[in-house]
Every structure is written in C-alpha cells, then in structure tokens.
C-alpha cells in the first residue's frame, strides 16, 4: 500500500458536511418539486422527499417552521420551498433543511421575487458600500408602519424608554394587501419632506404573502434614494424582504429597530459618570501639580527675600559706618569743639557774633558758657 493517509467513513462524511455547510450557494435557495413519501410526526416535524422527473432528494421541515405552513402538504403536491443543503453524517446522505413551503402559484411568486432580487443586486443597490451609519443620538426619527398595530407601539415605547428626547414622526400606511405598496410609497415620499436622522420602515411578523408589499420594486427603488438612513423592521429573522436588503440596517423586530436607532440613556448616564470621574481626576492632578509649583515658588521667594534682606543689612551697616564717621560727637572726642550763638545756631564765622554776646561752647565732656570780650579776624 502507498503512504497516503487512510480516512474513516465518518471522516469522509464529516468533511462532506463541512463542505456543504460552507457553500453560500447552497444556503436559503428556492427549489421547485413534487412532494412524495410525506410523513408528519407527532412532534410536528415534516419528513418527505422532493422530486422531479429525473431526481429525488430527502427533506425535513422542523416543527418551528412547519407550523407556519398555510396549507396541508400531501403526496403529489407541487411546491416551492426555501431550504439549505445539509448532510447527515451517520448515513452518508444529504438532504434539504426546509424553512418555507408554498404551493406552486405562491411558489412561483417566490421564484419571481428571487429574479427581481438578483436584478437589483446586479445594479449595486444592495452593496455594502451604500450602507450608511445610524446616528444613535437622533433629534428626530420617522416611522412608516400601520398606525394601530403592535409594531408602532413597540417602536414608540422603546424609543421613549431608551432616548426620550428624540422627536418621533409617524407616517401611517397600510402594510399588507393590494393597496399596501402604493400606501407605503406615499408615506415614504411624505417622510422625505422632514428633517429626520433615521427612518424606520416596518411591521410585525406574518406569512410570506403578507410581507409582499415590502418587495415592491417601485418602493424598493424609492427607498434607495432616501435622504436619511433606513432601518428595516419587517417580519422575523427568516423573512427577508427586498426592503431589508436595501436598508442601511435591518432589525428582525420593531423593538430591535428602536434599539438600532438610539443609544440607551442608561449608557449615556454611564458615559457621563465616567467622564465626570475622569474630569475629577484630571482636576485633582492639576490642583496637585499647581500646589507643587506654588510650593516651589514659595521656597524661591523666601530665598530671594533672604538675599534681599542680607544685601540691605550689609548696605545699612555700610551707611552706619559712614554716618559714624561724620558724627559731630566723634569729632569732639578728637579735641574739637562747637560754639553756638545765643539762638543756638552754630557759629561758623566771627562775623556772626558781636562783643559782649554770650556763646555756648560744646566739648566732648560738657558745655562752657562764655561772654565775648574781643573779636579778632583771621
């Protein structure tokens, strides 16, 4: 035997299942065929085969999807199903996991819808590059839906709970029936006259035929021109309409649309709380930094004052020494005297005194009062 690896049967079947599950072309595809070997189990699951003139493939439709079928399937019925291809590892077989089933007629509508979807996709209308972000801090939100349904109550209630400061404009419309596409189109054009941050288009869940208005080509092309971002909230997760494809965001429920359109005020409160703590810490850091700067300035100022005082003290000492040198008392101690006239003025010239006048002579150790007897010039 050669050295190539040897695989088990389970390895092969598991690998095949992985390949099938990764192929996007085998997910959510429409298939037309005739029902055979139909069995409905007590659990509510449908087990059957789908065949044409050349081939047969096994199929299963679990209860959560089977209960939404609007007719009673039986052998020989020609149907169109929405399904994905899957493999059953223990038996090494592959089968269809069926999500929707319609009798041919209704099934043909699904085929036509798929053609329209491919046509619009080829024009780039569903491209991700066209998707716009949602402003979750809106001033105004528009809602196109039935005026008295559960959808509008869910949307308004949740917006008011999450972001009560936003204005809500409701553009009432029919959401199913023959007149619904035209009604939705009029409501859409009316909404474009308003300054809205976001426009929600939606309704509650329903059967595929109930959602057909949201697959109208005129409506889809009009929505593609919307001035503001669109949130689609049509049906449930498995029900994807063309409005879902053209919208900037898709929600599986009206409540989900309200959540996509707004931020929760509790999140804003958390953001404010965090910002407040951050600001408080920043202010504390600034105050501490300024305190350190002031302390440093204080020390510098004290040192400067000490230097000034020292300089002034030295200057005063110098001036004091100079003053001491000119002090008359010091002169007297060197043997000199000062004479004052009768008015107490220093006598600097013999011209300032007269004979017989009295003068006072100040010595270093006392005073002498004298009477002038004679005056002689130089």
DSSP secondary structure string for all residues of 232-296: EEES-TT---HHHHHSSEE-SSHHHHHHHHS--HHHHHHHHHHHHHHHHHHHHHHHHHHHHHHHH
Claim to verify: residue 159 and residue 192 sit in the same structural domain: yes
CB 151 within 8 A of CB 203: yes
- Residue 116 belongs to a domain: no
Strand order in the sheet with 140-145: 167-172, 140-145, 198-203, 230-234, 249-250
Q: How far apart are CA 33 and CA 57, in angstroms?
A: 10
- Residue 59 belongs to a domain: yes
Claim to verify: residue 165 and residue 83 sit in the same structural domain: no
Claim to verify: residue 146 and residue 158 sit in the same structural domain: yes
- Residue 110 belongs to a domain: no
Claim to verify: residue 188 and residue 100 sit in the same structural domain: no
Of 104, 138, 153, which residue sits at a domain end? Answer: 104
Of 69, 104, 139, which residue sits at a domain end? Answer: 104
Claim to verify: residue 215 and residue 172 sit in the same structural domain: yes
**Residues for the chain: how many in total?**
378
Of 220, 240, 263, which residue sits at a domain end? Answer: 263
Claim to verify: residue 256 and residue 137 sit in the same structural domain: yes
Claim to verify: residue 322 and residue 333 sit in the same structural domain: no
Claim to verify: residue 295 and residue 362 sit in the same structural domain: no
Q: Map tokens 């493999």 to a residue.
A: 87
Mind listing the pLDDT tens digit of every residue in the chain (378 residues)? 566 788 888 888 888 888 887 888 888 889 989 998 999 999 999 999 999 888 999 999 999 999 999 888 988 888 999 999 888 888 888 899 999 998 876 556 667 778 888 999 999 999 999 999 999 999 999 999 999 888 899 999 999 999 999 999 999 999 988 899 999 999 999 999 999 999 999 887 766 667 888 999 999 999 999 999 999 998 665 667 899 999 999 998 899 999 999 999 888 788 888 888 888 888 888 888 888 889 888 888 888 999 899 889 988 888 888 877 776 666 666 667 788 888 888 877 877 787 788 888 887 778 888 887 877 776
Give the pairing type, strands 230-234 and 198-203. Answer: parallel
**Structural domain total, the chain:** 4
Give the structural domain span for 359: 329-371
CB 62 within 8 A of CB 76: no
End-to-end C-alpha distance for the chain, whole angstroms: 155
Claim to verify: residue 208 and residue 143 sit in the same structural domain: yes
Any idea what the CATH number is for the domain that residue 85 is in? 2.40.50.140
Any idea what the CATH number is for the domain that residue 240 is in? 3.40.50.2300
Claim to verify: residue 170 and residue 225 sit in the same structural domain: yes
Q: How far apart are CA 30 and CA 98, in angstroms?
A: 10
Q: How far apart are CA 57 and CA 76, in angstroms?
A: 15
- Residue 122 belongs to a domain: no
């Amino acid at each position: 035997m050669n050295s190539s690896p040897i695989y088990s049967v389970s390895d092969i079947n598991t690998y095949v299942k992985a390949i099938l599950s990764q192929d996007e072309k085998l997910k959510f595809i429409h298939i037309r065929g005739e029902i055979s070997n139909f069995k409905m189990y007590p659990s509510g699951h449908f087990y059957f085969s789908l065949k044409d003139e050349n081939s047969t493939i096994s199929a299963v439709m679990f209860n959560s999807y089977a209960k939404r079928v609007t007719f009673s399937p039986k052998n020989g019925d020609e149907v169109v199903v929405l399904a994905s291809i899957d493999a059953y590892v223990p038996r090494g077989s592959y089968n269809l996991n069926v999500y929707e089933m319609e009798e041919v007629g209704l099934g043909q509508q699904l085929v036509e819808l798929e053609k329209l979807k491919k046509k619009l996709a080829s024009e780039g209308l569903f491209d991700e590059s066209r998707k716009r972000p949602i402003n979750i801090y809106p001033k105004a939100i528009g809602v196109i839906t039935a005026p008295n349904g559960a959808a509008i109550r869910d949307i308004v209630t949740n917006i008011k709970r999450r972001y009560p400061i936003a204005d809500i404009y409701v553009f009432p419309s029919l959401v199913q029936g023959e007149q619904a596409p035209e009604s939705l189109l009029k409501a859409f054009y009316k909404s474009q006259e308003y300054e809205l941050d976001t426009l929600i288009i939606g309704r509650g869940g329903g059967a595929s035929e109930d959602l057909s208005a949201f697959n109208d080509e005129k409506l889809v092309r009009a929505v593609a021109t919307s001035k503001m971002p669109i949130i689609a909230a049509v049906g449930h997760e498995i029900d994807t309409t063309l409005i879902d494809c053209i919208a900037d965001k898709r929600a599986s429920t009206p409540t989900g649309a309200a959540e996509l359109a707004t931020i929760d005020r509790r999140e804003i409160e958390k953001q404010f709380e965090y910002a407040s703590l951050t600001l408080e810490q920043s202010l504390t850091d600034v105050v501490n930094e300024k305190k350190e700067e002031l302390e440093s300035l204080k020390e510098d100022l004290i040192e400067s004052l000490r230097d000034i005082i020292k300089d002034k003290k030295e200057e005063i000492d110098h001036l004091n020494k100079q003053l001491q040198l000119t002090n008359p008392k010091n002169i007297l101690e060197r043997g000199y005297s000062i004479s004052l006239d009768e008015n107490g003025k220093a006598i600097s010239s013999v011209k300032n005194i007269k004979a017989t006048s009295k003068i006072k002579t100040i010595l270093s150790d006392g005073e002498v009062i004298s009477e002038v007897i004679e005056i002689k010039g130089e």
